[in-house]
Structure 1
């Protein structure tokens, strides 16, 4: 039974309401002052309190403060004759559960009870029911998808339902969604097999991709009238963006949200260099050999993003563009940029690459504590949100909003939780990534991979004349036959990137104006 404490100095006038609730099987305890209410709460547990704002002695707001000091999580519904704004603000500031204006009718009271006490159950039941209806539609859509726009739409729908279902206690529904995501990735792999190489042919309709993103989507947003902050968060999946979108919405108003496609391999050295250079990897290797490194070359693979950006800006004829590039790879650098952010106000464009999510995914592979904290997609989202809310990046965004910057937020590629091994054999020169391989004489299971026998066809550099590329599909990861079981147990259920999946390839670009 639900126990209600109702505090009102005119409680006798509320008898019809109390009788109505008792007929609905609620147990109602009454009292006529704030002081009495505090004494009762010290002796007895309640599920919710209805509290009159205007009482002699201890006022409603004073009573509310005392209740919250003792039982911060106890829902309190404030009931008042007054519509004065300061009273509403005080009550809301003290985390009231609801605010009702007298005279209230019994159904208003009942609605408030349902909203506060049955909310989780009602939402859970309705969400489950809605997804059950949507399940058939998604299944039918999946059979009909034949364009990159359709795949973006379908993937966004799957993410929407994944986030809706994550808080309900119906494991069966979540398993159904997971199986639907798996099936979607199987079909998406077939779509990439059939269409990816064509996207690079002249006069063929293609999505915005890593190498066209800056020119097509960022440059049109830059102006001399308003500074622009362009933030590239490494390795950010679409669902992770959705997890912290509400935080950014406190400071910025979303103007546009689009998805674009990461190039293959969905790996930082390929996709992020492509964003900043405006070129595909084979062109980077040919035109800028001193900046480009292949998989088997020694040294860092993303050391020249600033130089690549400079060459693209010159190529686009943006000679009067006043811009700066910053890469944040640790907390100290992030805090330093926060402290010096005011110095950026005269830039037309400030570019920030923020490395954290990629480090998080690699840490999950190597550290047991992170494996516990990010054991699945839901936990991975939660961990990303926790990082973002406490990061210098959020402080940078707050400062940018205060200074009137336009904000453009994106990433280089996503990541996928790998579950199943696929055997591969290659020579000593074969690249090491778990989701793609490049080298000579690769032996693999053809059904598990997207193959580029001629790397030039998809604008990738060949390490030698007979090199090919293979990309793992879905949630697969490559494993060598030697020491197979140890290798598989170590890497299974880790977040990897480089291959073909919705999670890695379809990624967000969001444009905001400051509030």
Structure 2
């Protein structure tokens, strides 16, 4: 069966003869010794798969032996076996990264369980996960044919992400491919759902999901008070699966009290969706009520320079001007570090809003930097890169400080991104907007089946740049490409992360409320 080689270290090894015979019958190879110093020599000489180590031995103690073994062979799992239930010994052993901890007297089945847990764990988990997903696959396929409301779409997307994360570490590539095909099918159906229902969500008294422009009023404002400071972090381009990837890190400091995915408005692009969050208005209303702050796609200058102005105007409308509020936008590591260093100065604010632009920089630079392209070649790698960034970011430092200072924490985003795979030809005049996932302009020519069209932008509360302007939004994993220089353009942008269009990844995004631990 197996070629697993065990080293068992115990100064009373003769008493364990029945256990050793039991393991040998199961085809495990067992080498024994009676002291820590002998164990260290043996581990240097041979390749053991696992070590069972008695804690209480004359000469070198189990803990001292453990330290020596781990210093030279950090990858060898060590199972500590002890008569003592003293807490400090357990803590020492756990601190030294033991694989398991057993209290004497141990029975053979405990040993077997520990072996399976440490050596067969990934195989057993992989097999069980595969079986579970195979059972779930049919249910997801059935749900896909019947899903018909925004709540059902949120639930289905969450289920797909759950299985994507479960299957991430298993060795069965075919299961991952099957899930990928379900995600593709889900996005095709979701595009049809949005096409049919999106304009109705803006009709008064219609059942509509939580959308960008009402997020602050409905979810954030009711939580604000002078009794407890609130830190609201908007990480741009943060997909729901990326949030799930670093949620365990946040959970070390905060406990989640609410998680409600909401829908980004269209276009799923920063100047529209993020300004909608801060202004509490749809883009056509921003243009009308705040012409001094709003810029259209074809206007010169930055499109996101007035988020703080929009926020203060909304706070005033909501009767919350009395709250001490500060707004920060972090666009590079230097400004992130500076805010983290001075975070203590925010303790008297009622509301501190931090817009963190990291994911945007990552996804955009992915198109320009071959290194980042290599690092984020698919969704799994993209999640991993986000998690690695978050672990080492000034943002995590801020969250740790906020927890110590008793801040309520709100984590959210403006929209997600999708890895674009397939080009869709579009033709427009030179005033057509540049985004790869949506276009606005006059006389646009496009493939009907590939897009959601708003011939009259007013129906979805978007500004018209001129009388005959329309908007088109790419569905699924498509991106717009012009016929001239087509092949170069397509190879340059294929397999990059873009936003602005209609997909589950761009539109269904996280909103999370947390309390300090």
- Name the counterpart of 1:101: 103
1:42 to partner: Cα distance: 1.5
Map of 2:220 onto structure 1: 218
Alignment partner of 2:303 out of 301, 304, 311: 301
Partners of 2:375 and 2:463 lie apart in 1 by 38
Per the alignment, residue 352 of structure 2 pairs with 350
- In the alignment, which residue of structure 1 is the partner of 2:475? 473
- Contact 2:312-2:321 at 8 Å conserved across structures: no
Q: CA deviation at 1:339?
A: 1.2
> CA-to-partner distance for each residue in 1:64-96, whole Å, 9 max, x for gaps?
000111101110000111111000000000000
In structure 2, what is the equivalent of residue 230 of structure 1? 232
Q: Given that residues 236 and 413 in structure 2 are in contact (C-alpha distance below 8 angstroms), is that contact kept between their aligned partners in structure 1?
A: yes
Q: Does 1:168 align with 2:185?
A: no
Deviation at 1:44, TM superposition (A): 1.0
Alignment partner, residue 283 of structure 2: 281
Q: Structure 1: how far apart are the matches of 2:167 and 2:321?
A: 49
Return the offset for 1:164: 0.9
* Aligned position for 1:417: 419
What's the Cα RMSD here? 0.6
Cα drift, residue 106 of structure 1: 0.6
After superposition, the C-alpha distances for 1:406-449 in whole angstroms (9 at most, x for unaligned) are 10000000000000011111111111100000111111111111
Counterparts of 1:329-408 in structure 2, within 5 Å, are 329-408=331-410
Who is 2:254 aligned against?
A: 252
* Secondary structure at 1:239 match in 2: helix
Aligned to 2:437: 435
- Superposition deviation, residue 386 in structure 1: 0.8
SS at match of 2:514: strand
Secondary structure of residue in 2 paired with 1:196? helix
Partner of 1:133: 135
| CA–CA distance in structure 2, aligned partners of residues 253 and 352 of structure 1 | 20
Name the SS for the 1:512 alignment partner: strand
The equivalent residue for 1:38 is 40
- Which residue does 1:76 correspond to in 2? 78
Q: Output the CA distance in 2 between the equivalents of 1:343 and 1:363.
A: 33
Question: CA–CA distance in 1 between the matches of 2:118 and 2:285?
Answer: 59
The separation in 2 between residues aligned to 1:53 and 1:405, in whole angstroms, is: 43
**2: CA distance, partners of 1:452 / 1:321:** 39
Counterparts of 1:76 and 1:413, CA distance in 2: 45
Output the CA distance in 1 between the equivalents of 2:47 and 2:386: 37
Once residues 305 and 66 of structure 2 are traced to their aligned partners in structure 1, the CA distance between those partners, rounded to angstroms, is 57
* Unmatched tracts of structure 2, length 5 or more: none
Match of 1:455 among 441, 448, 457: 457
Are the equivalent residues in 1 in contact too, given 2:143–2:156 (CA < 8 A)?
A: yes
Q: Which runs of 4+ in 1 moved over 4 A?
A: none
Distance in structure 1 (CA, Å) of the matches to 2:410 and 2:342: 20
Q: How many Å separate the matches in 2 of 1:156 and 1:221?
A: 25
CA deviation profile, 1:180-235 (whole Å, cap 9, x unmatched): 00000000000001100000001101111110000100111112211110000000
What's the CA shift string for 1:231-284, capped at 9, x where partnerless? 000000011111111110111111111100000000000000000000000000
Determine which of 203, 206, 221 is the counterpart of 2:205.
203
Which of 106, 109, 118 pairs up with 2:120?
Answer: 118
Secondary structure at 1:104 match in 2? coil
Structure 1 residue runs without a partner (length 5+): none
Q: Write the distance in 2 (CA, Å) between the matches of 1:167 and 1:72.
A: 22
Matched residue SS, 2:322: coil
Q: Distance in 2 between matches of 1:62 and 1:328?
A: 47
Q: Structure 1 CA distance, aligned partners of 2:37 and 2:207?
A: 72
TM-score by length of 1: 0.99
Whole-angstrom CA distance in 2 between matches of 1:252 and 1:414: 23
Residue 304 of structure 1: how far off its partner (Å): 0.4
Instruction: For 1:447 and 1:417, locate their aligned partners in 2 and report how far apart those are by CA, in whole Å.
Output: 19
d(CA) in 2 for partners of 1:470 and 1:75?
A: 56
Partner of 1:64: 66
User: How many angstroms apart in 1 are the aligned matches of 2:191 and 2:321?
Assistant: 41
Q: Does 2:326 align with 1:321?
A: no
Look up the match of 2:156.
Answer: 154
When structure 1 is superposed on structure 2, of 223-232 and 85-94 the one drifting more is 223-232
Aligned residues: 515
The TM-score normalised by the length of structure 2 is 0.99
Q: 1:319, CA displacement in angstroms? A: 2.7
